[in-house]
Amino acid sequence: MKIKTFSIGGIHPDENKLTHEVPTQSAPLPTQAIFPLSQHIGAPAKPVVKKGDFVKVGTLIAEAGGFVSAPIYSSVSGIVLKIDTAIDATGYRKPAIFINVEGDEWEPSIDRTEKLELVKDHPELTPEEIVNRIKLGGVTGMGGAGFPTFIKLCPPPKAKAECVIINAVECEPYITADYRLMMEHSDEILVGLELLMKAAKVTRGYIGIEINKPAAIKLLKQKCNEVFCNSDYKVEVVPLQQRYPQGGEKQLVDAVIGRQVPAPPAIPVNVGAIVQNVGTAYAVYEAVMKHKPLIERYTTVTGKKLSKPANYLVRIGTPMLQLIDLCGGMPEDDNKVLAGGPMMGKALTSTEVPICKGTNAVTILSGDEARRRTPAPCIRCAKCVSACPMGLEPYLLAKLSAFKEWERAERNDIVSCIECGSCQFTCPAHRPLLDNIRLGKSTVMGIIKSRQIK
């Protein structure tokens, strides 16, 4: 049988999954935790604590700041030190809550037992109740972008959800957090998927996994057969070819159910699919069944020069430097520290940046890998065009952006760019294609927005 994948473009970066077989450990508590108020797409959260307040693990410290927003809960117990600004992964100083850690006292409402709760034992869980608990739990997309999860479960009036697709692709090099989560918590993930399907009122579910994770495919297939054999839900584990950016929402929908999401503003649910990261499914399980808000996550700390790369279960708010020290400290070299993987991760200006809800990895590139090479003139080899998974012409968009030809950039669909970086990865001339395209994309999006207001 032909192994499925998405239909246009794509690249094949070196995997470098150094931590594939390293079991997850719990990272020690930080001495101070930092909670940026913008850990998700949408309005920043609004603080509900003040200096000197005592908080427990699971205490609400900031409420949702609008409809597209998510509340933030403390992941530690201790005293609120201040509400100030802190450098986050974007490199800017943004408002954040600082908490000095004292002990480890949890809110009593959180169920800390290991017992697996099943959906059939909880008749009180109506779709509305599930969505509500996800919303209250502050669950956001765990794969990186951080879109509030409950919104995806309430599709716009004209769209109708037909299936839930679990994104377990993990196509970024180096990162293994999702893989470890699947190997260690497959039961909880499947309950999470069932909750998501129930909330979205669909009966079809898919789990897309790349074939470089055969153990996870085997395990989840077996569990799916056990769990869903006599139920109304039909869940299928879909092995996918190894190809970047398969973890992109649109590419995943194309790969798994063979439907292409049209150009923005269309979203996957317009073709009937709701895509959720495998980490999100786990977070949904914990939020709904264990009343445990999103306060910790699986994160891979990795890099070729690190002496002990590893996977950690980390409290959100832990400064990255602490995790790097656990892995043997910063390598003696010129380093680049990424929140995320090498394809889409953000380079940090400081290692004091905390782990946020969407931080799936801390990747350290050292030496030559950390530096960009000098760009040469474009030789028009067209490799960027064949690599682009959106069917765009990166060489042209980069040029139009550099020359500020916004109208032509818009006509050439610059807003469809998903910023996956495949073009720049492929470019033999090492041109900074995506730098220019990003600039052009945000300008053109601004122009479109202002036109709509008029």
Which residues, 117 to 176, sit near another protein by CB under 8 A? 173
Q: Among the residues of 119-264, which ranges form H helices?
A: 127-136, 149-152, 177-184, 186-200, 214-228, 249-257
List the interface residues with another protein, window 28-67 (CB under 8 A). none
Q: How far is the CB of 406 from another protein (least distance, A)?
A: 18
Alpha-carbon distance 43 to 217, whole Å?
37
Alpha-carbon distance 288 to 149, whole Å?
13
Asked if 359 interacts with another protein (CB under 8 A), we say no
The answer for residues whose C-beta is within 8 angstroms of residue 378's C-beta and 6 or more apart is: 395, 399, 429, 431
Q: Which of 350, 404, 407, 446 binds another protein (CB under 8 A)?
A: 350
Q: How far is the CB of 377 from another protein (least distance, A)?
A: 4
Closest CA to 178 of 134, 144, 139: 144
> Which stretch, 67-75, 128-136, 298-306, 345-353, contacts another protein (CB under 8 A)?
345-353
109 CB burial (10 A radius; 0-12, 13-18, 19+): exposed
Asked if 357 interacts with another protein (CB under 8 A), we say no
Q: Which of 115, 120, 373, 451 binds another protein (CB under 8 A)?
A: 373
Q: How far is the CB of 363 from another protein (least distance, A)?
A: 8
- What pairs with residue 366 in β-bridges? 335
List the interface residues with another protein, window 83-122 (CB under 8 A). 91
In the complex with another protein, the residue whose CB is nearer, 28 or 391, is 391
Q: Where are the beta strands (DSSP E) in 291-368?
A: 296-302, 310-315, 335-339, 346-347, 361-366
Angle formed by the axes of helices 278-289 and 127-136, nearest 10°:
100
Query: Mask 246-275, x = binds another protein (CB under 8 A)?
Result: ----x---x---xxxxxx--x----x----
Query: Mask 395-424, x = binds another protein (CB under 8 A)?
Result: xx---------------xx--x--xxxx-x
> Which stretch, 188-196, 225-233, 298-306, 343-351, contacts another protein (CB under 8 A)?
343-351
In the complex with another protein, the residue whose CB is nearer, 204 or 221, is 204
DSSP 128-160: HHHHHHHHHTT-B-SSSS--BHHHHTS--TT--
Q: Which of 8, 110, 159, 445 binds another protein (CB under 8 A)?
A: 8
CA distance from start to end of the chain: 53
In the complex with another protein, the residue whose CB is nearer, 47 or 208, is 208
In the complex with another protein, the residue whose CB is nearer, 281 or 437, is 437
Structure tokens at 88: 């986050």
